[in-house]
Amino acid sequence: MSPTAAKKTKLEGEVFYPNPETLTGTHVPDWEAQAAQASKDLTGYWARRAEELEWVRKWDTVLDESKKPFYQWFVGGKVNIVQNCLDRHVKTWRRNKLALIWEGEPGDQRTFSYHALNREVNKFANVLRAMGIKKGDRVTIYLPRIPEIVIAMLACAKIGAVHSVVYGGFSVESLHGRILDSHSKLAITADGGWLNGKIVKLKDILDEALQRSPSVEHVIVVKRTGQEICMDPERDLWYHDLMMLPIASPKCETEVMDAEDPLYILYTSGTTGKPKAILHTHGGYMVGIYATLHDVFDIRDEDRWWCTADPGWVTGHSYMVYVPLLNGATSFLYEGAPSYPYPNRWWQMIEKYDITILYTAPTAIRGLMRFGEAWPNRHDISSLRLLGSVGEPINPEAWKWYHRVIGKERCPIMDTWWQTETGMFMITPTPSVPLKPGSGTRPYFGALKPGSGTRPYFGAAAEIVDEAGKPVPDGEEGFLVLLKPWPAMLRGIYGDPDRYVKQYWSKYPGKYLTGDSAKRDKDGYFWIIGRVDDVIKVSGYRLGTAEIESALVSHPAVAEAAAIGLPHEVKGTAIHTFVILRSGYSPSLELMDELRNHVGHEMGPIAKPEEIKFVDSLPKTRSGKIMRRVLKARAQGLPEGDVSTLED
Ligand code: WTA
């Protein structure tokens, strides 16, 4: 065998066995033993993991189930996540280590050591305190992918304020709804951000949203793109001005929080109605996410970690902002689009910064795959040692391309399944040397199958059940549920405890409903099929049919609208809509364009429908609910299934 071949993953059928050489000395030498321990003694296991981090006061109870499904973790413990992201490291040699490397789309660069990042966070935390922001106050953050988004999130957490980050790709109506629901007193934005060579005018969008949201008293504006913007002298303040004031001292006490105190809320689309604010807390979230990066991506001091997700989504919260810092790692953040100015942008940066682990979404892989392998092949990307995927099922074709062209058949792919609600990975492969399947009756770890997230993470218990809640036989499709609580689990929906119980815990009492359908194969590997509710994953972004429909209906020409997701080669799923016009309006190409742009203006470019069909009626149940399932089946030419509840 040639030396290069020896380093490659062995492929047998559709099972990939990572080569031991690429995995020597990984953090978790024996997955089976750990998994067995975690499943036997869940609280003992998590207590041990929590002890790997620093606490102001240790917990009294690891898991309090007395108010379930309102589970509580590390009750009585006192800690602030920032204490473990920054304070802990600046006391050690890591103060001089790079925490964050950043590149802007135009090519500008900034780097922060742990010391420098800590200093900026302290300064901004002092600014926030001086502006009257206290523990428990909500702060809306609407920023591009620039270092200030990381600084702002950490500064809020440091003083115990609850951040509510709104993705910079969202627009007026989505932003307005999130500000209103969270009653934020303060908003942090930038004049703009760079994307595809153009400026996204964040401040203008925020100004428009604020006309409808009275709770915000002040806006802090980061100067990024430098074009002229409107500053309201009574309300708006420049970030750089504030950071020069004497109040912006580089020393700042970290607020001591209860483990169960809120860290952030993050809005996400649910089954019905408007997006809900998923609540995460300091203690359990910190422990859960810390452990996953440590174990699954085997993160080490010499690594350079790149999670390409925007901090405005949960992947960005957990795996771009908090978790690399919790592990004392160096991470990379890039402002712009993957193929700007050319499709080699990512590969060029991997080469330039010697990125060792790349964690991205299938849609990005499919998008870059389209440009052909000549683009990555022009660069030396051999620094990569592990790859990751998240956000939607990865089709085997994209998996194999990622594995062969980017990972050079050396890097195992961690296809991690999780959700905004779970906070951390729940089903994930492991970077371990696999036993061969069929070698005894034991489960095996480490072997990869393209398209499968493989097996539940330590302590996680997943099951696939039928409509009645009975486990289905292996190989059959059903609803994916989680059977045991986990530390980074959501602590509820902010301001709506009933909806939390109803949405996640009432269909199968005692079991957490994920909203996904899945299958398990004979080796115990999980295969996610997709959402079974009214959530659409467009390019990995989570959107609700209800939001898209209400954006359409807010246009004067639209009487009724329905949105569904249909398969799309690059986006995974694309939005298709059906519109009934009000009388006085007639279908036209101009109106179609106008409606698409209207949705773009209200929600953001990602929500623009792929297709708008003008129709005279929509299939509805007798109680008036739109049967999207029927629309979807019709559009794909599939059987319509049970239509007994369909009105005439
Ligand atoms: C989907 C993103 C297949 C799934 C972290 C889930 C995935 C929803 C995967 C949550 C994966 C996420 N394989 N499907 N590896 N990861 N999903 O809240 O449908 O934006 O329920 O969290 O994304 O989306 P969310």
**pLDDT digits over 391-403, tens only?**
999 999 999 999 9
pLDDT score at 137: 97
Amino acid (one-letter) located at 153: M
Q: What are phi and psi of 333, to 5 degrees?
A: -130, 135
129-151: b or e for each residue (b if 16 or more CB lie within 10 Å)? bebebeeebbbbbbbbbbbbbbb
C-alpha of residue 617 to centroid of ligand 1, in Å: 33
3-state SS assignment for residue 328? coil
* Lowest mean pLDDT segment, chosen from 228-242, 419-433, 615-629: 615-629
d(CA 151, CA 188): 11
Q: Given ligand 1 and candidates 542, 547, 573, which is best to mutate, with the most ligand atoms within 8 Å of its CB?
A: 542
Ligand 1 site residues, Cβ closer than 6 angstroms:
268, 313-315, 389-393, 415-420, 453, 514-516, 528, 531, 537, 542
Q: Is the pLDDT of residue 273 over 80?
A: no
191: Cα separation from own chain's centroid: 25
Cα separations in angstroms, 383 against 13, 347, 372, 379, 585: 28, 11, 21, 11, 58
- Return the residue whose CA atom lies nearest to atom 7 of ligand 1: 392
Q: Is the pLDDT of residue 2 over 60?
A: no
Q: Per-residue pLDDT averaged across 432-446, rounded? A: 61
pLDDT score at 4: 38
- Return the residue whose CA atom lies nearest to atom 24 of ligand 1: 419
606: left (phi over 0), alpha (psi -120 to 50) or beta: alpha
Query: Quick one: which atom of ligand 1 is closest to the CA of 415?
Result: 15
Q: Given ligand 1 and candidates 394, 427, 528, 536, which is best to mutate, with the most ligand atoms within 8 Å of its CB?
A: 528
Query: Quick one: which atom of ligand 1 is closest to the CA of 515?
Result: 21
Query: Quick one: which atom of ligand 1 is closest to the CA of 530?
Result: 19
> The pTM is what?
0.95
- Return the residue whose CA atom lies nearest to atom 14 of ligand 1: 392
Tokens 């062995």 locate to: 10
DSSP 66: T
Q: Given ligand 1 and candidates 317, 394, 516, 536, which is best to mutate, with the most ligand atoms within 8 Å of its CB?
A: 516
Amino acid (one-letter) located at 630: V
Considering all CA atoms of the chain, what is the largest pairwise distance in Å, rounded to the nearest integer? 75
C-alpha of residue 608 to centroid of ligand 1, in Å: 21
Cα separations in angstroms, 423 against 11, 163, 279: 32, 15, 10
Are the C-beta atoms of residues 106 and 311 closer than 8 Å to each other? no
C-alpha of residue 419 to centroid of ligand 1, in Å: 5
Q: Pick from 397, 529, 385, 460: which is nearest to 42 by CA? A: 460
Peptide bond into 69 cis (omega under 30): yes
Structure-token pair, residue 501: 């119980």
Model confidence at 1, pLDDT cuts 50, 70, 90, reads very low
Are the C-beta atoms of residues 97 and 300 closer than 8 Å to each other? no
> pLDDT over 90 for what percent of the chain?
87
Model confidence at 646, pLDDT cuts 50, 70, 90, reads confident
